[in-house]
Structure 1
C-alpha cells in the first residue's frame, strides 16, 4: 500500500489541472497570434513550469512518503515512480523529457523557440494530464 497525504495530493493536483487548463486555452490560439505576442509566450512558459513542477512535486511526495530511492534529478523522479508501477515506460520517458525541458525553461529561457512552446501546447500537455490520471489511479488501487 502506498502512503500519501490526501490534502497535499489534492492541492498539487489542483495546481496541475489549472496550469493544464491555461495551457490548453493558449494552444487553441492560432500559431501566428501566439508566437507573435511575448505576453502569451511568457504565460505559456510560466504555466508549463507550474504544471511540470506540480507533477514533479506529486511524484516526490510519494517517493518521500514511502521512503523509496531518492531521485538524482527531476527527470529521475518520474523514473522512480514509474518503477513502482504508477505508469508505463513510454509515459515515463515523455515525462522525463518534459522535466528536462522544464530545466531549460528555468535556466535557458531566452533560448527557447516560440514555435517549440506552441508545439508543446498542442501536442504534449496531454502527457501532464495523463500523468495525473495514472498517478491518482495508482494511489486508489492500493
Structure 2
C-alpha cells in the first residue's frame, strides 16, 4: 500500500493527541464530566477530530492506491474493508463512528452529555483498534 509518510505522520499526530485528551476526560467521574459544559464540549470536539482524522487517513490511502471513490464517510471505511485493510467485524464500529460524527457536527445540541461520557468509557479502545488494524495490514506504518 502506498501513502505519503509525512502526511500520514501529521494526521496520526493529531489523531493520537485527540485520543490522549479523550482519555484524560474519560478518567473523570461521570458527575464531574456532565456538570462541566467545557469538558463535554472538549470531548465532543476531540471526538470529531479523531473521527475526521481516521477518515482522512483512510481517504489518503484510498487516493494514493487508486481505490474506488467513497460515496460518503461510512463508505470510506467500507472501501478499506473491501481491500482487506480493516477486519469485517470491526466495520460496524467504524460505521457507528461516522454516524456519531454526523450527529456531533450536524445536531450537536441534540447529543446528550451522558451519551458522550458513555462513549468515552466504552469506545475509546476502538480508536486504538483502528490504528492497530492499519499497522497490522500495512507493515510500513509501524515506522510512523
TM-score band (shorter)?
over 0.9
SS in 1 for 2:11: helix
The answer to whether the 8 A contact 1:95-1:128 is kept is no
1:8 alignment partner in structure 2? 7
Q: CA deviation at 1:141?
A: 6.5
Taking only aligned residues, the RMSD between alpha carbons, in angstroms, comes to 1.3
Distance 2:16 2:101 in 1: 17
Structure 1 gap ranges (5+):
none
1:49 aligned to 2:64? no
The answer to whether the 8 A contact 2:15-2:54 is kept is yes
Greater mean deviation of Cα atoms: 83-92 or 16-25: 83-92
Distance 2:9 2:137 in 1: 14
Structure 2 gap ranges (5+):
none
Distance 1:35 1:104 in 2: 18
TM-score, scaled to structure 2: 0.94
The answer to whether the 8 A contact 2:25-2:43 is kept is yes
Distance 1:105 1:51 in 2: 12
Distance 2:25 2:100 in 1: 18
- Encode CA deviations 1:91-138: one digit per residue, 9 max, x unaligned: 111011101110110000000111100011011111111101111222
2:102 alignment partner in structure 1? 103
The answer to whether the 8 A contact 1:34-1:118 is kept is yes
* Count of aligned pairs: 141
